[in-house]
Structure 1
Amino acid sequence: MRRDLERVSARRLGRRAARIVLAAAIGGSVLATPAWSQSFTDRFKNLFGGGSSDPAPTTSNGAPAAETDLTCPSVSIRSGAATYAVGLPGKEASGNDLRYQVVIGRTARECNLNSGMITAHIGIQGRVIAGPAGAPENVDVPVRVAVVQDGVSPKTVFTKAYRTNVAMGSNGNVPFSLVMEDVVYPAPSADVNDAYVFYIGFDPQALKPEPRSRRR
């Protein structure tokens, strides 16, 4: 009887060791790391190239954010806002009148929960491509980020415009990247969390100067 128990225990230990070896062989672990708890820098650099050893984000009480019922919303590019084209003054941005075109290639995001508020970091990578009419030496890229609760009647929770300047040089095809680090909004309840989306897209209106306030 004792020998039978010893053989059963040995088999169990052998199976457990095999699982651990298999996990190590595929470069993972027995428990997968949830997307919420992965470092933004890790995912951003893994997506765009590079690596990092930043610690995982945590909640205000020190517990891993992955232990909450919330998930970090996905990033979606708004329809019709995936490209930004600029033509010669008074001309359509097409054909020989196209000066340059900006496109979004890849995105990344991270969410941190603290005291009922979510701070999101959203990163994009794209390219500025010169057109036949010739691009200027420097190009302003306008981007808008919105946190939206999607549904029958979408609700905008947060929105803000950002801009970055890209030096074209003589290449005519220049990559750019932008990280928005101040996207802050109240943490949603668990029943609507899955309806939240990070919408991004080009917003030419962001390049226009704000109207001056009238003095009394």
Structure 2
Amino acid sequence: MRKIDVRQARARAPWLLLAVASLTLAGCGGGSMFGAGSTIGNATSAGGDRFGQLFGSNSQQPGEAPPPAQEGDLTCPSVSIRPGASTYAVAAPGKQAVANDLRYQATITRTARDCNLNAGQITVRIGIQGRVIVGPSGAPDVVDVPLRVAVVQEGVSPKTIATKVFQTRVQIGGETSVPFSLVGEDLVYPAPSAAVGDSYVFYIGFDPQALKPEPRAKGRR
């Protein structure tokens, strides 16, 4: 009888579940979906325990309703995953991130937020947990995961109030599925008036464009 390679079987299992999703996400390497004028922010890698210590039970899974606000607490916008930016799929060079050409894929599994009002400014900490799954084409030992947070005032014409990129480095090693967790800090925006405060939302998602170097300024001849 032919012996089964356990390592190969383990490597195939995770990406089979993601192959269909990758077909619709192959174009995720396009332009930013969060608006211009962004900056690179501070991100602290955080294990599950630190994530829990920082935010307690004030966290949610994608699509889950945010925890109820306590009486007297500062209103902190809910967190939503930006449509089209919920998954980060990376392909082999010159290929599309589908089927056997998928190197790895990252997803968001849980989020949390914490707001602090001081002198008319709101300072936010955003917690993000996720997972990187290795595809059949194989991932490098270390991968950089770019995540963007945007404060958006929803309405007929949505307005981006503030936006910032946070990056985290994930050690893959020989694993096929690796969790990651980070806390993005120092996102600051002006406190909204009571009339529009309920229309504010924190949008988060992957932003591959954030990993590309800034274009060099053209010098004079």
Superposed pair shares fold, TM > 0.5: yes
Q: What's the counterpart of residue 40 of structure 2? A: none
Q: What's the counterpart of residue 153 of structure 1? A: 157
Q: Distance in 2 between matches of 1:204 and 1:104?
A: 15
Counterpart check, 1:81 vs 2:92: no
Give the secondary structure class of the aligned counterpart of 1:96.
helix
Q: What's the counterpart of residue 125 of structure 1? A: 129
Structure 1: gaps spanning 5 or more residues: 1-39, 49-64
Residues 11-48 of structure 1 deviation map (CA, whole Å, 9 limit, x = unaligned): xxxxxxxxxxxxxxxxxxxxxxxxxxxxx964635468
Among 184, 189, 202, the alignment partner of 2:188 is 184
Give the secondary structure class of the aligned counterpart of 1:206.
helix
Decide whether aligned partners of structure 1 residues 206 and 181 sit closer, same or farther in structure 2, where only a CA change above 3 A counts: same
Structure 1 residue 67: deviation in Å? Answer: 3.7
Q: Distance in 1 between matches of 2:117 and 2:218?
A: 40
Q: Distance in 1 between matches of 2:191 and 2:217?
A: 34
Aligned residues: 160
Q: Distance in 2 between matches of 1:182 and 1:215?
A: 34
Which has the larger Rg?
1
> Stretches of 4+ moved more than 3 A in 1?
40-43, 45-48, 65-68
Q: How does 1:53-72 map to 2 (within 5 A)?
A: 67=72, 70-72=74-76
Q: Distance in 1 between matches of 2:87 and 2:156?
A: 27
Q: Distance in 2 between matches of 1:79 and 1:135?
A: 25
Give the secondary structure class of the aligned counterpart of 1:194.
helix
Q: Could you say what the CA RMSD is over the residues aligned between the two structures, in angstroms?
A: 2.0
Q: Check the 8 A contact 1:120/1:182 in 2, yes or no.
A: yes
Aligned-pair identity (%): 68
Q: Distance in 1 between matches of 2:139 and 2:52?
A: 32
Among 198, 208, 215, the alignment partner of 2:212 is 208
Residues 140-185 of structure 1 deviation map (CA, whole Å, 9 limit, x = unaligned): 1011110000010001000111211101011110000111111100
Q: Distance in 1 between matches of 2:71 and 2:118?
A: 13
Q: Distance in 2 between matches of 1:125 and 1:47?
A: 13
Among 81, 90, 94, the alignment partner of 1:90 is 94
- TM-score normalised to the size of structure 1? 0.69
Residues 46-96 of structure 1 deviation map (CA, whole Å, 9 limit, x = unaligned): 468xxxxxxxxxxxxxxxx9647x510001000011000011111110101
Structure 2: gaps spanning 5 or more residues: 1-50, 60-69
Decide whether aligned partners of structure 1 residues 47 and 197 sit closer, same or farther in structure 2, where only a CA change above 3 A counts: closer
Structure 1 residue 213: deviation in Å? Answer: 2.7
- TM-score normalised to the size of structure 2? 0.68
Decide whether aligned partners of structure 1 residues 165 and 115 sit closer, same or farther in structure 2, where only a CA change above 3 A counts: same
Q: How does 1:45-56 map to 2 (within 5 A)?
A: 45-46=56-57
